[in-house]
Structure 1
Amino acid sequence: MKKVLIAERPDWKATAEQLGFAFHTIDDEPYWDESAYYQFTRSQVEDDIENPTAAIHELCMDLVAKVVDSEELLGRLAIPPAFYDFIRTSWREGHPHLYGRMDFSYDGCSPAKLLELNYDTPTSVYEAGAFQWVWLEQCLAAGAVPRGADQFNSIEDKLRQAFDHLKIERPFYFASIKGSVEDKGTTDYLRDIAEQVGITTRHIDLEDIGLTAEGRFVDLQDRWIPHLFKLHAWEHIFHEEFGAAIPGCDTQMIEPAWKAILSNKGVLPLLWELHEGHPNLLPSFVDREPGKSVGNGWVRKPFFSREGANIELRTAAGEMVKEDGPYTDAPYILQKLHPLPRFGDSYTLIGSWVIGDAPAGMGIREDNSLITKDSSRFLPHLFLD
């Protein structure tokens, strides 16, 4: 694993705009960064990323099966009791799921360590699945990267298979928060793939979803929403006004309710408890004293947070790194610190994608801090035999 500097394609911004990648630059700062790429060997990709991703996914599915049968475990995940039966039913009836992302710390030498699961509302799927593939194809054609270079990336193919497997014949709505260019870009990408397999799709802003007196979700034209991909986390839905209507509604939700079990960091202590010593897991525990200072070599994370918010860590040498944020109303975990590897002035995070139940590819983000935030940059990758 190494970082390789490379000249940017002179027309990459025009290419991005043409392909609908409207959030390549955020607040005048680069989000997509092709001034360098990460190079791996095939064995690093297959043995150190792909295989552990498959193994951990199986552990997660086994864990969901245990949690749905235990009110004690559901409670440990801070899930409201009113939704226990709803979650349990969604698992037992096999409500289908689409995708998820695991975030790893990996330096190319030691085993990749799972930092967290993003299994409900993960973003960066377009960058990982589509735009970095375009980058590789164009760089190969221009002779800018080594001949024979490949990419760990079957994301789009597996998404197509997953949508086809759903066998949806009625309109499939894709919802994101109004005004979020990144979220809209994610749902538009997924919509496009769904339409490739013959599914009729419609976009709707989350704020525009209506609820009839009979408990049916409808669009602005009062049309029933039979299937809904909601880029909105279950932990928020559970506490929102319309959330109480979801268990009794006749809309198929994707991601399904059982993803609430895997969408918070409280699952990490459960995984460690069941599989202590697993080479790809880190010691993790519920923080019983969140008011105390974080010890050297540990990280404190809220059960529910996004983009590094409200995370604090202390290095082995005692240096404190902390990010503020709004996620202060839920429990916390303590996780053994496994620092992100540093390449130059940047710290590197591996995002490994699972589509359906299969590993499908990866995306790489860089930050100037040990905590990967919403200001991080996305860089492409390739591997060589």
Structure 2
Amino acid sequence: MSPLADLMHLNLSDTTEKVIAEYIWIGGFGTDLRSKARTLPVVVTDASKLPKWNYDGSSTGQATGEDSEVILHPQAVFKDPFRRGNNILVMCDACTPAGEPIPTNKRYNAAKIFNQPDVVAEEPWYGIEQEYTLLQKETKWPVGWPLGGYPGPQGPYYCGIGADKAFGRDIVDSHYKACLYAGINISGINGEVMPGQWEFQVGPAKGISAGDELWVARYILERITEIAGVVVSFDPKPIQGDWNGAGAHTNYSTKSMRSDGGFEVIKKAIEKLGLKHKEHIAAYGEGNELRLTGKHETADINTFLWGVANRGASVRIGRETEKAGKGYFEDRRPASNMDPYIVTSMIAETTILWKP
């Protein structure tokens, strides 16, 4: 181990009670993650007991230079897989000094929806399938692809193994273990259809925690690719042509759906989603029209279609759910760059609160 690596892995608990807290927030683009660290005098595991902090919003596109202070409100705490020990990662939302959420703070309104009594009673669960693409740092071309050229056509890469089919597995496995260490309910990983593209799944997670866990899982992935010298892309169509795009399929159920007779509840919920298709599509990520073409396991962006075991549908119901007469469904429309706070709360609002 090099002297630098040795210092990076110092165990602070051997010499001090102080810990390092990395405060994480969403920047002015709505998809960019930012973070900075502070020292705490003792171990803290409860977000409500963490101090608020601030940052220069004029440097993140979230405030003017004349009034640049944005306040960080800690919301969720995770173990830090990079510093380890008692050190923590802290997911925050961002507000004005007066306590009002800034425009990119989508967690605030999501929490209001999840705190509605009707939503609380239904205990919404989510499982989010986050697809992403690993790119070579210098060329922004997928890892494993020949420079300026293309690999063989899709077919052997999905869940594939071998040096000519799986590119970046060391990053993917490192991310998997780091998320488990952090306390994120990551439930699996797999290679995707396009070479250099991968997926991890977060969930089942209840309510607002689904958004917290996915954002921190993205943060951990960005940090690992930073170390590896690789770029992670959440672009829903990173390579044009006959290549799969990248989505964030969102699996969803409520207490009523998981109970006997739930299949009828599921069908009514899907009918509501169909009636609000345009509103959901508008909120499901930038550049999604390049992905939702009716090809490559997608439904056309202008068409709402649902079916059992149909991966070319907007919403898919699994065979097990059909057989059991209860369970969950999968909204296949969200893009890989979607905001999970928006998508999860919008699904809950439409299916539980909205009365058409």
Instruction: Specify the TM-score bucket, using the shorter chain as the normaliser.
Output: under 0.3
The structure whose RCO (Cα within 8 Å, separation 6+) is larger is 1
TM-score (norm 2): 0.24
TM-score by length of 1: 0.23
